[in-house]
Amino acid sequence: MRLRTTPLKINLMKPDENIIPKSTFNSFITKSNRYLQSNGFKEWIFYPGMLFHDTEAWWTDNGVRPTPHEGIDLCFYRDNTGQVLRIDSGTKIPVMYTGDIVHIHDDFLGKSIYVKHNMNNKSGDVFHTIYGHTVPQNHCVSGTRVHEGDIIAEVAAISEESKVLPHIHITTAWIHKSLPCKKLNWETIWNSKSVTLCNPLEYINIKYATETLYPTLKYERQLALAKLVKMFSASAE
């Protein structure tokens, strides 16, 4: 990815000017994924690099993003006991609002899905939600009508060698109606004057916390132990 050459266009809309109701996305994602319910999901946790406009690369030590973060990354959550867990690949992803899938393309972990909603402003911009690093449902193709809460994709699986953990990337943006859907991609999102990015947390009704120290996850400890067992088993044969 190349470094950004133009300033990121940020939505500075005041809260009382934002007439779009908050999505119940969080309620849908917990209801659609039984493990979140059985684990006693309490709140999402964001570490440096996961929030809108962050510059850190959270998947690597002391890394810096080539561009400010265009949205949020949902990866870690806290359960009712206070333990920090993370979502799995295969986690079902609901759409935030009713709309139409207008474009799907490959990204570096899976596919990105663009959904156009029937929400317009006086400047001729249309509200879009974008879901990155996914495996779209078979019926979800460009032109498909989806309704709030419908499952449109699953979180893409990540190779064992990857430093990135499975997660959901969400971007919200006002995109001018003159920009063809087929031209939508992450370079366009970064550089086009026809795109105004906004903070997804302003549009999702969720409970979350921000923290600075990354956790030592039980899952990662188990995975490391399994690799050691596999290695010793192979050497003993």
pLDDT in tens, 106-129: 999 999 999 999 999 989 999 999
140-154: burial string, b at 16+ Cβ within 10 Å, e else: beeebebeebbbbbb
Strands 76-79 and 84-86: antiparallel
What's the rounded Cα separation, in Å, for the pair 146 and 152?
A: 8
Percent of the chain with pLDDT over 90: 71
Q: Which of the four pLDDT bands, split at 50, 70 and 90, describes residue 87?
A: very high
Distance CA 41, CA 32 (A): 13
Closest to 87 (Cα-Cα) out of 164, 35, 160: 35
- Take residue 193 and report the two structure tokens written for it: 């004057």
Confidence check: pLDDT of 6 > 50: no
Average confidence (pLDDT) over 91-96: 98
pLDDT band at 133 (very low <50, low <70, confident <90, very high): very high
Per-chain mean pLDDT for the chain: 86
3-state SS assignment for residue 229: helix
Judge contact between 117 and 98, C-beta under 8 A: yes
pLDDT at 8 over 70: no
pLDDT over 90 (residue 86): yes
Whether 47 has a pLDDT exceeding 90, the answer reads: yes
**What is residue 13's predicted lDDT score, i.e. its pLDDT?**
47
Mean pLDDT confidence for 192-202: 95
At 233, the pLDDT band (50, 70, 90 cuts) reads low
Outline where DSSP puts E strands in 137-194: 145-146, 151-155, 168-176
How high is the pLDDT of residue 230?
Answer: 54
Residues 139-148: what's their mean pLDDT?
97
Phi, psi angle pair for 78, to nearest 5°: -110, 140
Question: Looking at this protein, which amino acid is placed at residue 178?
Answer: S
Q: What is the pLDDT of residue 60?
A: 81
Amino acid letter at 208? Y
Cβ contacts of 93 within 8 Å, gap of 6 or more: 29, 131, 134, 151, 152, 153, 154, 155, 168
* HSE toward the beta carbon, residue 126, CA cutoff 13 A: 16
As a whole number, mean pLDDT of residues 129-151 equals: 97
Q: Tokens 């969080």 — which residue? A: 26
pLDDT at residue 43 tops 80: yes
- Strand segments, DSSP code E, in the chain are 41-46, 56-57, 63-64, 72-74, 76-79, 84-86, 92-94, 99-106, 111-120, 125-136, 145-146, 151-155, 168-176, 195-198, 208-210
Model-level pTM? 0.84
Residue 145 pLDDT exceeds 60: yes
Confidence category of residue 237, pLDDT binned at 50, 70, 90: low
Do the beta carbons of residue 106 and residue 73 sit within 8 Å? no
The CATH number, out of the four listed (3.40.50.300, 2.70.70.10, 2.60.120.590, 1.20.5.510), of the domain defined by the range 15-236: 2.70.70.10
